[in-house]
Amino acid sequence: MSGSGGRASGRGGAGYAANSYRTHALVLRTYKLGEADRIIVLLTPGHGQIRAVAKGVRRTTSKFGATLEPFMLSRLQLVRGRNLDIITQAESVTPYGQWIAQDYDAYSAASAMVETAERLTESDIGEVGGHGHGAEAPSQYRLLHGALAALARGTHAPRLLLHSYLLRSLATAGWAASFTACSKCGTPGPHRSVNVTLGGSVCDDCRPPGSATPAPATVELLAALQSGRWEVADAAPDQARREAAGIVAGYLQFHLERHLKSLSVMDQSP
What DSSP line would sit under 25-66, residue for residue?
EEEEEEEEETTTEEEEEEEETTTEEEEEEETTTTSTT-TTTT
When pLDDT is averaged across residues 15-23 and rounded to a whole number, the result is 81
How far apart are the C-alpha atoms of 142 and 144, rounded to whole Å?
A: 6
The amino acid at residue 21 is: Y
Res 141 pLDDT > 70: yes
Provide, rounded to the nearest whole percent, the portion of the chain with pLDDT above 90: 73
pLDDT tens string 171-224 = 999 999 999 999 999 999 899 999 999 999 999 999 999 999 999 999 999 999
Non-local CB neighbours of 119 within 8 Å, separated by 6+ positions: 256, 258, 260
Q: Label residue 42 exposed, middle or buried (CB < 10 Å: 0-12, 13-18, 19+).
A: buried
Cite the beta strand spans of 102-213 per DSSP E.
131-132, 193-195, 200-202
Q: How confident is the model at residue 15 (pLDDT cuts 50, 70, 90)?
A: low
The amino acid at residue 76 is: L
How far apart are the C-alpha atoms of 142 and 139, rounded to whole Å?
A: 5
pLDDT tens string 235-254 = 999 999 999 999 999 999 99
Computed over every residue of the chain, the mean pLDDT equals 87
Query: What does the pLDDT read at residue 99?
Result: 94
How far apart are the C-alpha atoms of 139 and 269, rounded to whole Å?
A: 31
How far apart are the C-alpha atoms of 87 and 77, rounded to whole Å?
A: 6
Number of Cβ within a 10 Å radius of residue 261:
11
Res 264 pLDDT > 80: no
